Amino acid sequence: MSLRVVRAGVLATVQDLGRRGMQHLGIVPGGAMDPVSHRVANALVGNPTEAATIEIGLSGPELAFDEDALVALHGARFAAEIDGAPLPQSRPVLVRRGACLRIARAAAGCFGYMAVAGGIDVPPVLNSRSTYLAGGFGGWRGSLLQRDAVLPLVPDAAGLGVARFARATRRRRSIAVRRCETVGWFAPAVTLPEHDAPVVRAVEGVHAALFDEAARAAFFDERWRIAPDSNRMGFRLLGPKLELAAPTEILSQATCLGTVQVPPGGQPIALMADHQTTGGYPKIAEAIAADAPMLAQLAPGASLRFAAVTLAEADAARETLCARVDTLVQRILWEFGDEGD
């Protein structure tokens, strides 16, 4: 069983949770830009967290189904439809054979995740199915999804999806929509910003003291905007120019998700999922792990502010987010009953 790409989107790739623990070998972690939404989308079709999904950035593809399939679209809110009817989002949807799913522009947020029962069954590379665009490997041919691309699903994805949907509707009736069925409940958004110019919390970077007083103050006091040339490797931030107190050369050091580096031009870059393993630009701050998924949902042109927190506060925020997502996933999986696949 497979999915066929009828029309390519702007930035659609196959992603999972990435290749962890390989930075010392020069292999970037990669994986979903918003791992929280990826995880919730998988839960909505009864998949384990590590199953591969289709990550959709800004504007999505058009997909044709050759068999019945249980799907869920979660994360950014898209204008999406099944054979001309609105697609119910953030809930399990049983799509019928021959249906065509069209995902247009994102109305809110930046990255959405379409999960299919059983997962996208592309071959794993270095223990992950995620696409690394700069390296040209993983996912579908190491590339963005293109027209006429065929994405393999597990052999009995149709039967698996029908069986899971039947279990999900045992307690509550299903709702018939053109060429598909769904349920009355949905998963709430966890990572979409609730306000304009959301606050991203950050701890002081290892090189913060190298910047002059005005730069350190501006980083946390001023509003920043996501530049149009941002990508999965890093978000360029438009705002005041950040100056060093004196010309300084530093050795290349390890980087991580959320590292905010400042190149010689003075405009910071927040490193994202496909960030390089090392970097030689001064690090003024580190965006905390709990806010990285929300940062990923800021589209080009969106504004944000940074707020300083301590390492202890960052750890507490991460634990709070993990507990919230764990609870949500368990509630979703409860709808499928106690049986496992």
- Rounded to whole angstroms, the Cα distance separating 222 from 199 reads 11
What pLDDT, on a 0 to 100 scale, did the predictor assign at position 77? 96
What is the reported pLDDT for 338?
54
pLDDT computed for residue 173 by the predictor: 66
Amino acid, single-letter form, for residue 218: A
Task: Give the pLDDT score at 169.
Answer: 83
pLDDT of residue 340: 45
**Inter-residue long-range contacts of 163-170, CB under 8 Å, 24+ positions, other chains counted:** 163/341, 164/45, 164/46, 164/70, 164/92, 164/117, 164/336, 164/341, 165/70, 165/92, 165/94, 167/335, 167/336, 167/337, 167/339, 168/46, 168/92, 168/335, 168/336, 168/337, 170/337
Q: Which residues pair with 103 in a beta bridge?
A: 80
How large is the greatest C-alpha to C-alpha distance in the chain, in angstroms? 67
Structure tokens at 96: 């019928």
Counting as low any pLDDT under 70, the low residues of the chain are 171-173, 177-178, 338-341
Per residue in 46-96, pLDDT (tens digit) is 999 999 999 999 999 999 999 999 999 999 999 999 988 889 999 999 999
Q: What is the model's pLDDT at position 126?
A: 95
| 3-state per-residue secondary structure call for the chain | CEEEEEECCCEEEEECCCCCCCHHHCCCCCCCCCHHHHHHHHHHCCCCCCCCEEEEECECCEEEECCCEEEEEEEEEEEEEECCEECCCCCCEEECCCCEEEEEEEEEEEEEEEEECCCECCCCECCECCCECCCCECCCCCCCCCCCCEEEECCCHHHHHHHHHHHHCCCCCCEEECCEEECCCCCCCCCCCCCCCCEEEEEECCCHHHECHHHHHHHHHCCEEECCCCCCCEEEEECCCCCECCCCCCCCEECCCCEEECCCCCCCEEECCCCCCEECCCEEEEECHHHHHHHHCCCCCCEEEEEECCHHHHHHHHHHHHHHHHHHHHHHHHCCCCCCC
- What the block records as the tokens of 12 is 């659609």
Which homologous superfamily does the CATH classification assign to the domain defined by 199-309? Answer: Cyclophilin-like (2.40.100.10)
The Cα–Cα gap between 25 and 38 comes to: 26
Nearest 5°: the CA angle 156, 162, 166 is 145
So where are the chain's domains? 2-188, 199-309
The conformational region for residue 148 under phi > 0 = left, psi -120 to 50 = alpha, else beta, is left
What is the distance between the alpha carbons of residues 316 and 39, in angstroms, rounded to a whole number? 21
Q: Rounded to whole angstroms, how far apart are CA atoms 178 and 99?
A: 9
Amino acid at 120: I
Q: What is the CA radius of gyration of the chain?
A: 21
Confidence (pTM): 0.94
CA distances from 229 to 57, 113, 200, 225, 266 (A): 14, 22, 20, 12, 16
In sequence order, what are the residues at sequence separation of 6 or more whose Cβ sits closer than 8 angstroms to the Cβ of residue 251?
A: 280
pLDDT of residue 306: 98
